[in-house]
Chain A
Amino acid sequence: QSVLTQPPSASGTPGQRVTISCSGSSSNIGRNYVYWYQQFPGAAPKLLIYRNNQRPSGVPDRFSGSKSGTSASLAISGLRSEDEADYYCAAWDDILSDSAMFGGGTHLTVL
């Protein structure tokens, strides 16, 4: 069980705005950057958000990240069928042996 807690699943309809949460603690999200990755079945992960809310070049602005206290969120607006994928948050933890960790992942279904 991951220290970063994500809901195992989320869903939305095309055009809708969906948020995926990532809950941590003061030793990880509370004091470090949060990163978000997208992964399609059988493919390598893709960096969506870094440093809480920064998008790498090429990532649509439909994807946005935010952080508040010990939680972070990934928001996807204007949901599209091609957004159906697994989403993972990641962060360092300063107490657990300076661990790098992923959340357990959230499977997003576009209905």
Chain B
Amino acid sequence: EVQLLESGGGLVQPGGSLRLSCAASGFTFNNYGMSWVRQAPGKGLEWVSIISGNGDNTYSPDSVKGRFTISRDNSKKILYLQMNSLGAEDTATYYCAKALSSGWPTLNFESWGQGTLVTVSS
């Protein structure tokens, strides 16, 4: 059974940093792309970052480019999201997700974690 467990969320001051982690199990981690998707309170979904199975390809939208970095440790089966220069607009629940199949690029993420809440506030 695929399991994705996010951690690292919490309250952070504006301008601060956080690193989110997503521990994966139940599948061959390095075979699948992974992503971070966020949802601000009461709002819609937003792709935050996507990474290929081997880590060679990444995507981030302009809204987080230069501030957020997605990475993965395939030996530990962990996905990361390093978030710097956080602002109020980054307040959201952050989900990690596993792609349905290998290949790049992809938006077919079939398995999702429960999400971790990031609150940016002074």
Q: How extensive is the interface on chain A, given as a class?
A: 20 to 34
* Alpha-carbon gap, A103 to B47, bound state (A): 11
Interface size on B, residues (CB 8 A): 21
* Alpha-carbon gap, A103 to B46, bound state (A): 9
B59 touches A98 (CB 8 A): yes
* Alpha-carbon gap, A104 to B69, bound state (A): 25
Task: Decide if B88 is an interface residue (CB 8 Å cutoff).
Answer: no
Enumerate chain B interface residues (CB-CB to A < 8 A). 37, 44-47, 50, 59, 61-62, 95, 97, 100, 105, 107-110, 112-115
Task: Decide if A63 is an interface residue (CB 8 Å cutoff).
Answer: no
A104 touches B100 (CB 8 A): no
Enumerate chain A interface residues (CB-CB to B < 8 A). 2, 33, 35, 37, 39, 44-47, 50-51, 56, 88, 90-92, 97-105
Min C-beta distance of A40 to chain B, whole Å? 12
SS class, residues of chain A in contact with chain B: strand
Q: A50-B108, A90-B107 are in contact. Are A56 and B100 (CB under 8 A)?
A: yes
B109 touches A47 (CB 8 A): yes
* Alpha-carbon gap, A44 to B61, bound state (A): 21
* Alpha-carbon gap, A99 to B115, bound state (A): 23
Task: Please indicate the chain A residues that have their CB under 8 angstroms from the CB of B37 in the complex.
Answer: 45
B44 touches A44 (CB 8 A): no
